[in-house]
Amino acid sequence: MNRPALEEVFFPPFEGFPEEGLSFLRRLKRNNNRPWFQLHKSEYEETVKFPMQCLIAGLAARMSGEAPEFVFDPKRSLFRIYRDVRFSRNKAPYKTNVAAAFGARGKQAGKEDSPGFYLGIEPGEVFIGGGIYMPWGEQLKRIRHSIADRPSEFLDVVRAPRFRKIFGEIIGDKLTKAPLGFPKEHPMIGYLRYKQFFVGIDVDEKKCHSPRFQETVAGVFADALPFLRWLVGSLR
């Protein structure tokens, strides 16, 4: 029997990420090889991939009015489980987490070099947030110049009471010195030295097993939305 196209699959309401899914990821970490995965691929599809797609489908409905410019797609938003090992010393073929990124509509860049929301689940760690994780050179220039040229717009976002309460500060690696073209005495130098711009929170693993986890994710995304919109605007 031919399987239906993914677009035709009905994703039922999210009922919580199953404990069996995390159990699968733990076992995959111990057996990260192709023969083992091929033998247990149906388990991955049923306990990891499909529940995550149900969550994404639920987020699509939940966020469509609040963040219509971002894409929540059960197929395209989900990261593949296959690792790119071409330039890595670690030749393990599979990722041991499940993750999704939700970028702005019309953006052709990859998931890690364009602004978007992010959700990652793995044993012992659940992270919800968003930003831009691996901006390339021209993107960094635009972001930094947006901070330097319009500091009040940026500070209105990152110093908003709600932002500070939920996220505290921006997360990301920093340069040890001032970036090229900016003096070390620049009043915004603390932000200009960032090489990555993202925010997020860690959530207790137990919470992802509840149907209410979908609302938790949507709430964090809503809190990150002003920051994501600022990033998108800075790159225009």
∠ Cα 203 43 8 (to 5°): 90
Residues 143, 149, 154, 156, Cα dihedral to 10°: -170
Q: Tens of pLDDT along 218-232?
A: 999 999 999 999 999
Judge if pTM exceeds 0.85. yes
* Residue at 2 is within a domain: no
The domain in which residue 212 lies consists of 17-234
Give me the CATH number covering residue 149. Answer: 3.30.930
pLDDT of amino acid 106: 78
235 three-class SS = coil
Residue 177 contacts residue 183 (beta carbons within 8 Å): no
Q: Tens of pLDDT along 122-156?
A: 999 999 999 999 999 999 999 999 999 999 999 99
* Residue at 46 is within a domain: yes
Nearest to 14 by CA among 41, 50, 45: 50
Phi then psi for 199, rounded to 5 degrees?
A: -135, 165
Domain count, the chain: 1
Between β-strands 197-203 and 116-122, what pairing exists: parallel, antiparallel or unpaired? unpaired
* Residue at 86 is within a domain: yes
Buried b (16+ CB within 10 A) or exposed e, 24-45: bbeebeeebeeeebeeeeebbe
* Residue at 123 is within a domain: yes
Nearest to 58 by CA among 72, 75, 79: 72
Q: Tens of pLDDT along 42-52?
A: 999 999 999 99
With helix as H, strand as E and coil as C, how does 152-196 read?
HHHHHHHCCHHHHHHCCCCECCECCCCCCCCCCCCCCHHHHCECC
* Residue at 159 is within a domain: yes
Q: Tens of pLDDT along 63-75?
A: 999 999 999 999 9
* Residue at 44 is within a domain: yes
Residues 142, 134: Cα–Cα separation, whole Å:
14
pLDDT of amino acid 2: 45
How far is residue 67 from each of residues 48, 206, 219, measured CA to CA in Å?
Answer: 26, 27, 12
* Residue at 5 is within a domain: no
* Residue at 92 is within a domain: yes
